[in-house]
Structure 1
Amino acid sequence: MIGKHVRTLVAGAALAPLVALALPGGVASAHGYINSPPSRQAQCAQGIVACGDIKYEPQSVEGPKGLRSCSGGNTRFAELDDDAKGWRVTSVGRTVTFTWTMTAAHRTSNWEYYIGDTLVQTVDGGDAQPPTTVSHTVNLGNFTGQQKLLAVWNIADTTNAFYSCVDLRIG
């Protein structure tokens, strides 16, 4: 005769896989993006520009380090690479403060800010976990007119980075 405790354990073990399948799946860890001035993914999330999946997870534009695309090479978010999509352009001076929203902080190598192929500024992350909001004041040098700025958040503890593009009118 099997004891009551053994039967309970066997029944629990048999039901565990069914319960796991019935529960909703976890949402992938979210990460970070520029919300001010509004990045392309922030514009999607706010409904300023009609977008696909990125509107639900603007913080998820993650890809291998070293890319120079707004989508971070993620085909799901390829519309972020479309310069003709009707992105709102923010008028700024030569110095701009970019504010990131972090929804899951990673230890940070650095943040890089590019206009075209030109690195305009690097901010050291100190191999530390950032707070939920991070701001950097970036000098855009001699750039003028309408420009697309690419910001890259390089993670210290993975081979990936997070990508965010902001459309600016400088001057």
Structure 2
Amino acid sequence: MSISSKFRSTAAVGAATALAFTLMPAGTANAHGYIDTPASRQAQCAAGVVACGPIQWEPQSVEGPKGLMSCSGGNAAFSELDDDGYGWDVTPVGTTATFDWTITAAHSTATWEYFIDGNLIESFDDGGARPPWNFSHDVDLSGYSGEQTVLARWNVADTPMAFYVCVDVNVGAL
């Protein structure tokens, strides 16, 4: 093969490779955040407390459009998070609970919201600030008792997306 043929072959492969990477869809970031204490459903999956699908490797990635009320954030790959009968550990708490977050990508934040049975029980407005890597919210649960599932929703300020976390608690058990 002549030098000019080798050059044309190399140039063709390079151009095809560049074109292939240009046409590939952009991947989504695989890092965001979740509640680790009390152990959220995705934290339990990551720790192997319950057998889960792909969420066990990326507990921080439960992202979906703002406004949803599902533990999976509408993501079918994480649908086990929506199953109340999956064997989730329930954490005893008092009438106030501290939810500790682990953040792996500090997105600009509009609000943090906490719900029980679709009712907003607490909201924290961050006004577009980026959260620290670890922080806590103290949430008043005094209007509830017994076993409850708390849905936490982290609303990103500069996109139409939110992150979803569910935590199973026994209110008043402490």
1:131 CA displacement: 1.2
Show the 5 A alignment for 1:17-166: 17-18=16-17, 28-29=28-29, 30-166=31-167
SS of 1:86's partner is coil
Give the superposed CA RMSD: 2.5
What amino acid maps onto 1:81 in structure 2? D
In the superposition, the TM-score normalised over structure 2's length comes to 0.85
**Aligned match of 1:15:** 14
Three-state SS of the structure 2 residue aligned to 1:59 is coil
TM-score by length of 1: 0.86
SS in structure 1 opposite 2:69?
A: coil
| Count of aligned residue pairs for this structure pair | 164
Gaps of at least 5 residues in structure 2 are: 1-5
What letter is aligned with 2:107? H
Structure 1: which 4+ aligned runs deviate by more than 6 Å? Answer: 19-22
CA displacement 1:90-147 (0-9 Å, x = unmatched): 0000111101111111100010000112111001112111111121111112200000
Structure 1 unaligned runs (5+)?
Answer: 1-6
Q: Distance in 2 between matches of 1:50 and 1:20?
A: 41
Change (3 A) 1:17 1:121: same
CA distance in 2 between counterparts of 1:155 and 1:13 reads 43
Structure-2 residue corresponding to 1:4: none
Letter matched to residue 164 of structure 2: Y
Aligned residues with identical type, % of pairs = 56
Report the Cα distance in structure 2 between the residues aligned to 1:140 and 1:20, rounded to whole angstroms.
54
Q: Distance in 2 between matches of 1:87 and 1:101?
A: 20
Are 1:108 and 1:125, in contact at CA under 8 Å, matched by a contact in 2?
Answer: yes
Matched AA of 1:106: H
| Offset, 1:18 | 4.2
SS in 1 for 2:158: coil
C-alpha separation in 1, matches of 2:112 and 2:128: 11
Q: Aligned partners of 1:46 and 1:71: how far apart in 2?
A: 18
Shift in alpha-carbon separation, 1:157–1:145, aligned structure 2, 3 A: same
The whole-number CA distance in structure 2 between the counterparts of 1:102 and 1:17 is 38
Secondary structure of the 1:126 match is coil
Alpha-carbon distance in structure 2 between the residues aligned to 1:41 and 1:163: 10
